[in-house]
Amino acid sequence: MTRTTFLDCEFDPRNMALPGLLSLGVTDDDGTDYYAVNADADFGAVLDHDFIVEHVLPHMPVTVRRDAIGIPVAIDFDPSHPHYEHVKPAKQIADDLDRYFEAPDAPLLVAYYGAQDACRLHSLWNNDWSKMPVHIPRYFTDIKVMADELGVSELPEQKSTAHHALADACYNRDAYRFLNSLQKQGRVGAEDLARQLHANSLLVDKSTPYWESLTIKQRDAYRRSAQILLTQYDIRS
């Protein structure tokens, strides 16, 4: 069976280069975890990013120094923090992940709103696929897309620490399993239902073009209708 891995990264969204990666967490179906904090990250650049300072940094082995009125002025690594052992240079993180993913074929990679997560993973090899090991996943399955396809508007609540890369990666595994269970119960996907709605319209109006002849806009209209129905009703195959 193909190994399934689950990724989450914390990052400065304004910096797509490697110093913009703050931390990375990955786990798999067997619970094999990997967590690292990028020692080469530009933490000084996030001093003005309120969300990162208030919601991300408290879960990392760093200390935020503030001035007399509470404005963040510096971010330092905290050697006394229990997670300080996970602070590693980007080169070591890349080597660790090379071993973590090592296999004849790349495993399935799953992320949630994961476009940037995949890019941050690849940034460890300067986004150069010719230099990136063949077993590092080149693409990913997005939990949000899976949820939309199944008409699921609300995923299970995350009970672990949000905005900690490894905790979020583990939550991605829980969400993926939840959505997989719906698929196994026979819940129809949005694309299949969109095509069925179109097929039904053919029965009513013989002049309706075949699916392959529809414009992209027309197909998307069927897809939107399907997603609305899936959200409102428990439609099964």
Q: Taking 70 as the threshold, does the pLDDT of residue 213 lie above it?
A: yes
pLDDT at 175: 97
Q: Taking 90 as the threshold, does the pLDDT of residue 220 lie above it?
A: no
Q: Are 38 and 22 in contact (CB under 8 A)?
A: yes
pLDDT at 236: 64
Q: What gap in Å lies between CA 228 and CA 148, rounded to an integer?
A: 10
Q: Taking 70 as the threshold, does the pLDDT of residue 150 lie above it?
A: yes
Using CA atoms, how far residue 218 sits from 11, 48, 114, 192, 204, in Å, is 38, 44, 28, 15, 17
Query: Which of 61-65, 75-79, 156-160, 185-189 has the weakest average pLDDT?
Result: 185-189
Q: Rounded mean pLDDT of 199-227?
A: 83
Q: What gap in Å lies between CA 120 and CA 196, rounded to an integer?
A: 39
pLDDT at 229: 85
Residue pLDDT, tens place only, 56-90: 999 999 999 999 999 999 999 999 999 999 999 99
Residue pLDDT, tens place only, 119-129: 999 999 999 99
